[in-house]
Amino acid sequence: MSDYTRKEIMAISAGRLVNDGDILFAGTGLSMLAATVAKHIYAPNSVVFFETGGIDPSLHELPLAVADPRVMSGTCLNTGLIDAFAVLVHRRLRTIAFLGAAQIDPHGNLNSTALGDYHRPSARFPGAGGALDAASLAYGSIIFMAHQKRRFVPQVDYLSSPGWLSGGDSRQKAGFKRGGPMAVVTDLGVMKFDEQTKYMYLEQYYPGVAPEQVRENTGFELDVSQAREAEPPNEKELTTLRRDIDPGRLILG
Amino acid sequence: MEFTPSMQKKLMSTAEAVERFVPDGAMVSLGGFTVNRNPMLITREIIRAGRRDLHLAVHSHGQALDLLIGAGCVSKVELAYGGVARFAPTGIRFRAAASRGDILVEDYSNFHMSLRFLAGSLGLPFIPSRSGLGTDVLEKWGFGPEVRGQGKIPEKKMVVDQNPFAEEEDPVVLLPALEPDVTLLHAQCVGTGGTVRIKGLTFLDVEQARASDAVIVTCEEIVPEDYLRQDPDQNTLPSFLVDAVIPAPVGAHPTACHQYYDYDPTHLKLYRDYASSDDGFQRYLEEWVLPFQTQEEYLAKVGAPDLERIKANRVLGYAPGLDRR
């Protein structure tokens, strides 16, 4: 039962973090898989929606983009951006956003805009999109990252989407009423943030990964002393993911 | 079919629409979203007409944005996101132009751009939000002092201020309204009286259209106005907000149009390969953009097998089983 890929355990690990009834804001790629895994297995009463305005689509086929016509099919409601943001910010809803980025810092702040000088970037990325808004206004967020030193940096080149800002109560002081990153799911394990300092620490490492390996691939000091080995994906999780969610392996590869 | 007199005035060629409503230097807002309902026919015409110095205002945009930037039509862009899903996670020519400093880029978020268009549509000078506090989107401005305050570019990108209704400290982000010169939309249907119906997600098309001085709509089909008026709940824009209507079957290709066709993975991959070099992109323009006076000629180039592959299932709205790898 140890036969699974890193992408599979990432999608499943993220899906396990969802509470039943959460309203899930999905982006593209792995986040779409995680949201669907959550709904299929752990959170049948959860609803997936997209910033483009598609609410609760059937997802018979996996969308490759938030504007994929597959997010408009079998929905309870087809709307637009303004309506989707009204769902995202609703104070009664536990909206959980799945986000990704090019860089992350120890407080979960994300860069999806540019490397180097903003005006003449050495690499330009697509931009903050709706991730900035989800990071600002959702109830919470779960972040996907490839675990590499160049991506886990002490300071992001451009702060596109707010995490815990400079830690402690700085997020609240900046004016945010709720939200903040709950976890960072990578190809090596799951990171969480200290209750008080809001600094990242290793919570789980995947079977076959050493905590030291996670530290070595992180560009800032990472506490691994509280870490435990993650529960490997079970038969049901893998079958659902492979057979029902991504049979064409569009995202699983 | 019989057109109303006002609709007859709106029906025109793409060349005439671009000539009248998209001058050099215009502020242009693009409807659709990344891989969906991009106004591609008008986009190709703008390139053919050799427009320069356009100022684009979009939320998340893909193919049309990338083509216009690559063809050198654009000097400034305000956006939240520039990419074409997995086919180009960052728009290829957008990335190249931004890295070289060929265009000025001002970054916002999708909610910011949505609110800015909404403000423009309601005649509000600005609109508050809590999105983006503490980020570089507030701090780093893409448009420098040399262009600030000129034409439709606001003096300031955004401002943090105290909520005047709160007794305690409550910072909010104030965003300037957007009032583009023209919005380009692709819709499924326009009635013979000019009423517009967009199926599936409308994204921000309605707010963008209402915020603009002029609106150009390309559409899959012109249908009898009576048909649209039998179910007005489904309609999107009244005729009096629309200035030009151009019938354009498969007019969003290679992006999708719900219930008509899917995005075209074959073409988007072909574009990615061409766009990856400067020479290649020029060849793309020469092969896929510049030669075609009409949509029919363009579709003949795309070819029947490709069009058949992406044809949508009318119930599902997309092409089930389409090879999207």
Question: Is B166 touching A (CB cutoff 8 A)?
Answer: no
pLDDT digits (tens, 9 = 90+) for B134-176: 999 999 999 999 999 999 999 999 999 999 999 999 999 999 9
Question: Is A153 touching B (CB cutoff 8 A)?
Answer: no
Question: What pLDDT does A31 receive?
Answer: 87
Shortest CB distance from B133 goes to which of A120, A131, A175?
Answer: A175
Contact A127 B91 (CB under 8 A): no
Question: Is A129 touching B (CB cutoff 8 A)?
Answer: yes
Chain A, nearest residue to B323 by Cα: A248
Mean pLDDT in residue range B195-218: 98
Going by pLDDT thresholds of 50, 70 and 90, the confidence category of residue B99 is very high
* Helix extents (H) in chain B: 5-10, 14-21, 40-48, 63-70, 92-100, 110-122, 136-139, 205-211, 225-229, 265-275, 278-284, 295-302, 304-310
Which one, of B8, B11, B54, B9, lies nearest residue B218 by Cα? B11
Q: In degrees rounded to 5, what are phi and psi of residue B128?
A: -90, 155
Chain A / chain B CB contacts < 8 angstroms: 200
Chain A, nearest residue to B33 by Cα: A67
Q: In degrees rounded to 5, what are phi and psi of residue A40?
A: -70, -35
Task: Tell me how far apart the alpha carbons of residues B11 and B20 are, in angstroms, rounded to a whole number.
Answer: 13
* Residue A214 and residue A189 in contact, taking contact as beta carbons nearer than 8 Å: yes
Question: Widest CA span of chain B, in angstroms?
Answer: 65
Which one, of A15, A52, A19, lies nearest residue A37 by Cα? A15
Q: Where are the domains of chain A?
A: 6-245
Q: Which residues of A touch B256 (CB under 8 A)?
A: 67-69
**A171 to chain B nearest CA, in Å?**
8
Buried residues in A131-151 as b, exposed as e (16+ CB within 10 A): bbbbbbbbbbbbbbbebeeeb
Mean pLDDT in residue range B201-224: 98
Question: What pLDDT does A29 receive?
Answer: 82
Shortest CB distance from B95 goes to which of A71, A124, A158?
Answer: A124
Question: Is A160 touching B (CB cutoff 8 A)?
Answer: yes
Per-residue pLDDT of chain A in tens (253 residues, 90 and over written 9): 469 999 999 999 999 999 999 999 998 788 889 988 899 999 999 999 999 999 999 988 999 999 999 999 999 999 999 999 999 999 999 999 999 999 999 999 999 999 999 999 999 999 999 999 999 999 999 999 999 999 999 999 999 999 999 999 999 999 999 999 999 999 999 999 999 999 999 999 999 999 999 999 999 999 999 999 999 999 999 999 999 999 989 899 8
Q: Give contacts of B 233-292 with A, CB under 8 A.
A: 256, 258, 262-263
Task: Tell me how far apart the alpha carbons of residues A73 and B259 are, in angstroms, rounded to a whole number.
Answer: 10
Shortest CB distance from A126 goes to which of B89, B108, B137?
Answer: B89
ipTM of the complex: 0.96
* Residue A29 and residue B86 in contact, taking contact as beta carbons nearer than 8 Å: yes
- Average pLDDT, rounded, for chain B: 97
Q: Where are the domains of chain B?
A: 5-128+171-310
Question: What pLDDT does A2 receive?
Answer: 61
User: Quick check: helix, strand or coil at residue A25?
Assistant: strand
In the predicted model, is pLDDT for residue B178 greater than 70?
yes
Question: What pLDDT does B147 receive?
Answer: 95
Question: Is B13 touching A (CB cutoff 8 A)?
Answer: no
Question: What pLDDT does B85 receive?
Answer: 87
Residue range B5-128+171-310 in CATH 3.40.1080.10: yes
Residue range A6-245 in CATH 1.10.8.350: no
Task: Tell me how far apart the alpha carbons of residues A84 and A52 are, in angstroms, rounded to a whole number.
Answer: 7
Weakest-pLDDT range from A214-228, A236-250, B21-35, B198-212: A236-250
Q: Give contacts of B 14-33 with A, CB under 8 A.
A: 32-33
Q: Which residues of A touch B109 (CB under 8 A)?
A: 128-133
Which one, of B96, B92, B88, B91, lies nearest residue B79 by Cα? B91
User: Quick check: helix, strand or coil at residue A192?
Assistant: strand
pLDDT digits (tens, 9 = 90+) for B268-318: 999 999 999 999 999 999 999 999 989 999 999 999 999 999 999 999 999
Mean pLDDT in residue range B235-243: 98
Active site residues per annotation of A: 51
Question: Higher-confidence residue: B325 or B76?
Answer: B76
Question: Is A113 touching B (CB cutoff 8 A)?
Answer: yes
In the predicted model, is pLDDT for residue B232 greater than 80?
yes
Q: Give contacts of A 186-245 with B, CB under 8 A.
A: none
Question: What pLDDT does A1 receive?
Answer: 43
